[in-house]
Structure 1
């Protein structure tokens, strides 16, 4: 026989559900991976500003072939080459963000062993060499990256917290869906219980002639309809529980009992305060600044490509000998200075056109960001208005819920003594059910608006603190 699976009932508040969603949901894991990607991109940028130590070499290289040789009279001949070589170089390179150039300090040793009839070894050393590469008039890519990358990472950090808040919004939606489904099941069971009681009384009245057959049949129909609603409500509970359970990463053996949140706090939002918090904390502000800088960078790159002058300078010492130790003696200067120039004389306006395209794209970005800023402000204004109005709607719905429940209980008692009809009783029941559902829906809308504002501002208005995170600790998870 298959062993019975252990069922675990889990009473869950809204706060606990939100914590589980932020820790265990797939959406939270996706947000974390996106943050890690941005983190390592930023770390790569920072590492690019630090000295880099590299070792390169060929260990070994072997040649046995014919090479073309130019003689003094201008004719060519082929000579036999047979050698074994080793080469190693140690270099320290540093990018210069201020100028966009690069400086390198290197040391190398080259060994060759001739393997022809006259076998001998030869060494060439460069004990120390200093190389400087510097573009002139071109785009300083290091400088632009130094501006853009930190903003890009700040944008990613804010986006991570926003994504976590989006997880919160989904959790709230699934939580209240289950809560409403459970409440509908409770209502359906209560209605069925009341319908059974009323029908039992109706049967007794029918036997003594105080109730018509038509009325009895109508009450029997109400009982059957109530049973159907219980079955439908139970199926809805199962579906919504599966959805919330899967989102929170819980086991299928966990039976969730959602707890109705307490009364909403007395909180009123002010548009200017909310807008200020959003502009300070939301990734949107960083996104706007990054896109504008990237557009400026494209213009600068297009202008820099109109002409190109590169300076290359190398100074150091070198020596050679048939013994390795002697190759480091009697050193000689090893200097190179090279200026490379690339200036188009006739390009039929191609490079100028690329500059104009980049400038036009920049103007488009500026126009779009202005439009997006207006819409961003408008959305915040409407969200604040809806939240403030929702507090009143919730208060009204709670009062209507209480009155509808009292009316229904009174209607049952009044019907039993024959002072109202079954239609009046059904109307009271429908009003009671609708009022209860409306109350829960208004409570959901209140918390949905609040967490929407929280996700935009990245600010907890209940505890008066900015939503922040230890990103170094999060990355190490």
Structure 2
């Protein structure tokens, strides 16, 4: 039994691992494109967008004519029923009947008024088998209307709210894709930072090993003291420790990317190709704000919430106010023991019914419900202003950071190049005995730190770039 379970478990793992794989070396743009499709937040936004579209499709279907057929064939009953006799006693009489019916109805909703037009035809047959009798009752044609008056019209509001909801979920999907790109950009640079730290650690370990070998020879010749040799050995040991730490960080960054994309991690670590400077984007504030007002889901959500608040306000007023319900129809009807007269010689039918419902005393319930709806409407109007304020401030900050990082990136690149050149000169000078070990160590630390600073600046530049893109998805 255990081998079978093991085989099944391995098969499931193999199936899961086949669902998604990543190349050994990641390109940022390819990873961003993948994240915009595979991120869990994107899947959730796609589901919401699809549901909103289906809700709108359902509404469109509700506005079209409907045709329904209903039947009750047979409706047979054979039993005994109690019958009260003239003297007050009870007698049980045998009853065997069948009461079948069929009806065909066409309906059309009236969105503007909330009413419904209908056109129907039905036929009913009653059979009394005990007395050998039958009778037909039929309505060859009946046309009418059911019309609420002063009532809440839910269909009218669905026509207003559902398109706004579809637009909102579409904007949320675009924003989810842009946010996924922004998030995976951060994860990519976490991987790139870990990769750089490992490369620096390996380079330092190799350089420390060479220096230690040379220092050992110089110590034997009496050119350096024991303290310098111990210091170099200490740096060699620390370099080995840094390699182990960098490996752990690299694996952790790799796992984070796999988890974000929903892929199964099968061990090892990914490599990241250093990306170029991102494409230049427009930094015109007015254009950015204008696009943001159109594209950001927060503003569309506020519009939808305002519509819903207006809907609930109207609902509360109408549900607690006077209501009338009109039902009217004209048609042809006939009852006869034979079927043919029902359709050959039907009689006219007119039906008119007006129901009135006027609330008299509700102990302030209507007032409280209306006040609730008014409060929600006020909130919906105010939250839109707050969203505009918040996102405008965010846009201003990102634009400032984008412009500053653009200049800083050029400076940090040049500084990193100079630090690398300085370290090379210091290393050669130390090997020639021109400078002490402390100066070489300082040059190495400065080079490593500035290399990290450049990559950090490049990562920040890319992240700000991605966040600006997310403001206008």
Same fold (TM over 0.5): yes
- Offset at residue 65 of structure 1 (A): 5.1
Cα distance in 2 for residues equivalent to 1:234 and 1:255:
9
Q: Secondary structure at the match of 2:381?
A: helix
- Which of 420, 430, 435 aligns to 1:415? It is 430
The partner residue of 1:163 within 176, 185, 190 is 176
**Alignment partners' CA distance in 2, 1:69 and 1:338:** 35
2:272 corresponds, among 213, 234, 258, to 258
Task: Indicate conservation of the 8 Å contact 2:113/2:153, yes or no.
Answer: yes
Could you tell me whether the CA contact under 8 Å between 1:205 and 1:211 is conserved in 2?
yes
Map of 1:152 onto structure 2:
165
Moved more, 222-231 or 58-67: 58-67
User: Alignment partner of 2:144: what SS?
Assistant: strand
Q: Would you say 1:398 and 2:416 are equivalent positions?
A: no
| 1:269 CA drift (Å) | 1.0
Q: What's the C-alpha RMSD, in Å, of the aligned pairs?
A: 2.9
Answering whether residue 400 of structure 2 is matched by residue 385 of structure 1, we say: yes
User: Structure 1 residues 453 and 80 mapped into 2: Cα distance closer, same or farther (>3 Å)?
Assistant: farther
Distance (Å, rounded) in 1 between the aligned partners of 2:91 and 2:367: 50
Superposed, 1:115-194 pairs within 5 Å as 115-116=129-130, 118-194=131-207
Structure 1 residue 354: Cα displacement? 2.3
What are the residue-to-residue correspondences of 1:220-369 with 2, within 5 Å? Answer: 220-250=233-263, 252=265, 256-305=270-319, 306-369=321-384
TM-score, with length taken from structure 1: 0.88
User: Aligned pair in 2 of structure 1 residues 146, 455: CA closer, same or farther (>3 Å)?
Assistant: same
1:249 shift after superposition? 4.3
Q: CA deviation at 1:245?
A: 2.5
Which secondary structure does the structure 2 equivalent of 1:60 belong to?
coil
Structure 1 residue runs without a partner (length 5+): 459-477
Distance 1:219 1:411 in 2: 15
Partner of residue 226, structure 2: 213
Contact 1:25 1:247 survives alignment (8 Å): yes
Counterpart position of 1:470: none
Deviations 1:144-202 (A, max 9, x none): 21111111110011111111112212211211111111111111111111111111111
Q: Deviations over 1:289-327 (max 9, x none)?
A: 111111111111112121111111122112233343443
- Trace 1:25-64 onto structure 2 (pairs within 5 A): 25-64=39-78
CA contact 1:148–1:294 (8 Å) conserved in 2? yes
Q: For 1:34-89, what per-residue CA distance to the aligned partner results, in whole angstroms no more than 9, with x for missing partners?
A: 222222122122222222222222232223456688999xx999876431232222
Say which SS state the counterpart of residue 334 (structure 1) adopts. Answer: strand
Would the alpha carbon gap of residues 83 and 17 (structure 1) be closer, same or farther in structure 2, given more than 3 Å must change? same
Change (3 A) 1:25 1:281: closer
Matched, 1:200 2:213: yes
Q: Structure 2 CA distance, aligned partners of 1:104 and 1:371?
A: 48
Alpha-carbon displacement from aligned partner over 1:357-406 (angstroms, at most 9, x marks no partner) = 32233223322332232222222222222222221222222222222211
Equivalenced residue count is 455
Deviation, 1:282, is 1.6
Rounded Cα–Cα distance in structure 1 between residues aligned with 2:60 and 2:405: 47
Deviation of the 1:276 alpha carbon: 0.4
**Alpha-carbon displacement from aligned partner over 1:89-139 (angstroms, at most 9, x marks no partner):** 2222111111121111222222222222x2233332222212211111222
Is 1:86 the counterpart of 2:100? The answer is yes
Aligned-pair distance for 1:421? 2.1
Q: Which residue of 2 aligns with 1:114?
A: 128
Rate the CA distance shift 1:361–1:265 in 2: closer, same or farther, 3 A.
Answer: closer
| 1:462 alignment partner in structure 2 | none
* Secondary structure class of the residue paired with 1:125: strand
Q: How far, CA to CA, are the matches of 1:268 and 1:212 in structure 2?
A: 60
342-351 or 182-191, larger mean C-alpha shift: 342-351
Partners of 1:420 and 1:77 in 2: how far apart? 127
Q: Distance between the aligned counterparts of 1:317 and 1:332, measured in 2?
A: 5
Q: 1:371 to 1:76 in 2, by over 3 A?
A: farther
Cα distance in 2 for residues equivalent to 1:444 and 1:100? 57
Q: What's 2:455 paired with?
A: 440
2: CA distance between counterparts of 1:260 and 1:446?
Answer: 13
Question: Residue 278 of structure 2 contacts residue 465 of structure 2 at CA under 8 Å; is this kept in 1?
Answer: no
Change (3 A) 1:77 1:44: farther
Find the aligned partners of 2:70 and 2:220 in 1 and give their Cα distance.
Answer: 105
Is there any run of 5+ residues in structure 2 with no aligned partner, and where?
1-6
